[in-house]
Chain A
Amino acid sequence: MKKNINKGTPLSPGIGYGKLLLLEKQHTPVFRLELEPGQIDEEIQRFHKALEKTKMQLAGLKEQLSARLGEGHSYLMDAQIMMLDDQLLVARTEDIIRTDRVNAEWALNETSSQWAKEFNNMKDKYWQERGDDVEDVANRIQANLTQIDVHKIADVDEDVIVFSYQLSPSDVVELQNAPVVAFVTEIGGKTGHTAIIARSLEIPAVTGMNSVISVARSGQMVIVDGYEGMVILDPTPTQIREYQNKKRYYEEHSNILISMKDRPAITKDGRKIVVQANIELPDEIETAIKSGAQGVGLYRSEFLFLSNPDKLPTEDEHFQVYKNLAERVYPHSAIVRTADLGAEKFTPVMGMGPNREPNPALGIRGIRFCLQKKELFKVQLRALLRASVYGRLKIMFPMISGLSELREAKASLEEAKEELRLNKMDFNENISVGIMVEVPSAGLTADLLAQEVDFFTIGTNDLIQYLLAVDRNNDHLSYLYDAMHPTVIRLMKFIVDKAHEAGVKVGLCGEMASDPQYALVLLGLGLDEVSMNPVAIPLIKQIVRSVKYSDARELFEHCLTLSTAQEINEFLLEKTNQFFPSGFFAPRGTALIQDNS
């Protein structure tokens, strides 16, 4: 491998070539940079500029707060504003910049974390929380120290490739406003929301690039290969030509796939599987339809809550979104997952702060949150019911852990129906109600749950994380997060079998659904529906069309007899090579996956 080529983890397919733009963002871990003696005064000035900027921002916030709540409530801002002048923060930070010859970010972080620790060690909870105030102020200063922020890149006018420690899903949405042709991050998992959004917006992305980010400089030229997870700094003319060809080839290939996207996914021996789209933003409905989706298998409704952190969405705002969804997806159906808030998805108006729980993945999230905030829940349910007359909407509850929780959620739905009846409002009395099977206890009681639902959707992203006790965003554990662990496929089989015994249809909506490597396994598992990132739909449909269900069935049965994820993966690779000797992307000039439909 040439030495300017770096290998990471592919997050989102595609090839991008452009100028590197290094972004740093609030809450990114702070890097230590050594300064030359001549740079110190400049660094201290930079620190003071950031302090001034923060002061103006806090003064502005204080004004807003007093206007809304009265003078008496803005005192907390006073304390924070004073910290910006506090020598114990300012002078200490300057000292560190001077004596350790380090950048302001690092020095400030040293000082503020010392203070935070001091407060956090206090016995009294009130004073412990003052540590959060210090951290909050320090975070604001850190954000202002950063020269470029993501909101400003809209000013860029040439193709850029963004390099950042980490990007949030909303950052990625924002990248669309600029000519960003790809991005590269240091951390972020394949199943994270950032990756999901990148794929649906078709922005090539690669992660796991710590070694590159530390040497990357804004202005360098870069090639990003989101198919294979390659990042090439300062490519040679030959490499550029090579990648232009590769890009053109993939585009041609995907044009051919796209030309066949509307053909149904039916195997050679006549087994049909419904291929649907996972979406999150109203804008994506169009992409889903264009990709040949046979409906929406997962509509994540959290964006409504998170797009405006200052207020909760009203019933009408919900209603408009769902009505639009139902109408545009018709005659297909759309499954709306009720708010899966919690974990990191909180805004202040929801009445709970983020990071207050020691273990958010096992905390108040999904249906648990909704059942504790019944009014918020019923606003959404009423809106969904009202929208149900405009198309084929289905309701899905997330994070159900067992029958009693399901019954409680359904009771809320009944209340919402009753409220609409009292107001003489139309809705579909027989709206389908299902659950996301993503908590192991729900999976293992699938036989009981199947008696009281209309459908199941297996949510593999969380199901795998919970079954294997592996945080799916922890890069150090990604070697353990394997969809092919025998426990995962055994449980999936149990869920599908129990659902079918009860006459209930089963879909699957995790990221694995869009991975061609797993297509045969999921087909053989006997699923009725699979739902995935729209971009993957044409390829997955084509894979289904080019095989026999009986072969997939046999392949799955064999997987069940193997003892480790590694054995299963090796077996799958062997089979894939056998079924698709030229790979999912055939070499140029030869036929693509054989078209048998």
Chain B
Amino acid sequence: MLQRDVLISNKKGLHARAASKLVQLATKFESKINLSRDGQISDGKSILGVLVLAAHMGSTITITTDGGDEQEAMNAICDLIERKFDEGE
């Protein structure tokens, strides 16, 4: 199992579009993927779970991946967040 903290740095945070992209990406992996913020843990493959974290810009979320492709999953998700979800801001 891998765990990493990442800073949400895109302007709108994990809003509907960003959350959709994240979930779409997460569902491509076999591993179990969890996101947590302030003690609330959500399934990264659930749009409702990701949205309900209400992670705005500047919040830190903890990502855990667990399974056969945990490394790839972790890299891909962190990459998407660091690329600010390709939103250009």
Residues of chain A at the chain B interface (Cβ within 8 Å)? 75-76, 78-79, 82-83, 86-89, 115, 118-119, 122, 124, 126-127, 130, 133-134
Minimum CB–CB distance from B71 to chain A (whole Å) comes to 25
Give 1 or 0 for each of B1-29: 1 = CB within 8 Å of chain A CB.
00000000000100111011001100000
Contact B46 A87 (CB under 8 A): yes
Chain B interface SS verdict (over half): helix
Tell me the B residues contacting A by CB distance below 8 Å.
Answer: 12, 15-17, 19-20, 23-24, 43, 46-49, 51-52, 54, 56
A119 to B46, CA, bound (A): 15
Residues of A within 8 A of B47 (CB): 79, 82-83, 86
Flag if B56 contacts A119 (CB, 8 Å).
no
Asked whether A86 lies within 8 Å of B17 as measured between CB atoms, the reply is no
Residues of B within 8 A of A134 (CB): 48
B48-A75 in contact (CB<8A) = no
Would you call A82 and B23 a contact (CB within 8 A)?
A: yes
Complex CA–CA separation, A78 to B22 (angstroms): 12
Which residues of chain B are within 8 angstroms of A87 by Cβ–Cβ distance?
43, 46
Partner of A119, one of B15, B19, B24, B52: B52
Nearest CB in chain A to that of B14: its residue: A127
Report the minimal beta-carbon distance from B30 to chain A, rounded to whole angstroms: 16
User: Can you report 16 A-B residue pairs in the complex whose CB atoms are below 8 A from each other?
Assistant: A75-B20, A78-B20, A78-B24, A79-B16, A82-B20, A82-B23, A83-B48, A86-B47, A86-B49, A87-B43, A88-B46, A124-B56, A127-B54, A130-B16, A130-B51, A134-B48
A122 to B16, CA, bound (A): 15
| Closest Cβ–Cβ distance, residue B85 to chain A (whole Å) | 10
Q: Give Cα A87–Cα B47 distance, bound, in whole angstroms.
A: 9
Give the Cβ gap from A515 to chain B, nearest Cβ, in Å. Answer: 51
Top 5 A-B residue pairs of the complex, sorted by shortest distance between their CB atoms:
A75-B17, A82-B47, A78-B20, A79-B16, A127-B54
Further pairs besides A88-B48, A130-B51: 13, Cβ < 8 Å: A75-B17, A79-B19, A79-B47, A79-B51, A83-B47, A87-B43, A115-B48, A118-B52, A119-B51, A124-B56, A126-B15, A127-B54, A133-B16
Alpha-carbon distance A394/B49, docked complex (angstroms): 57
B50 CB to closest chain A CB (Å) equals 9
The minimal Cβ–Cβ distance linking B29 to chain A, given in whole angstroms, is 16
Residues of B within 8 A of A89 (CB): 48
Q: How far is the CB of B37 from chain A (nearest CB, A)?
A: 12
Given known pairs A82-B47, A86-B47, the reply for A124 and B17 (CB within 8 Å) is no
By a CB distance below 8 angstroms, the chain A residues around B51 are 79, 119, 127, 130
Q: Which of B15, B16, B46, B56 contacts A86 (CB 8 A)?
A: B46
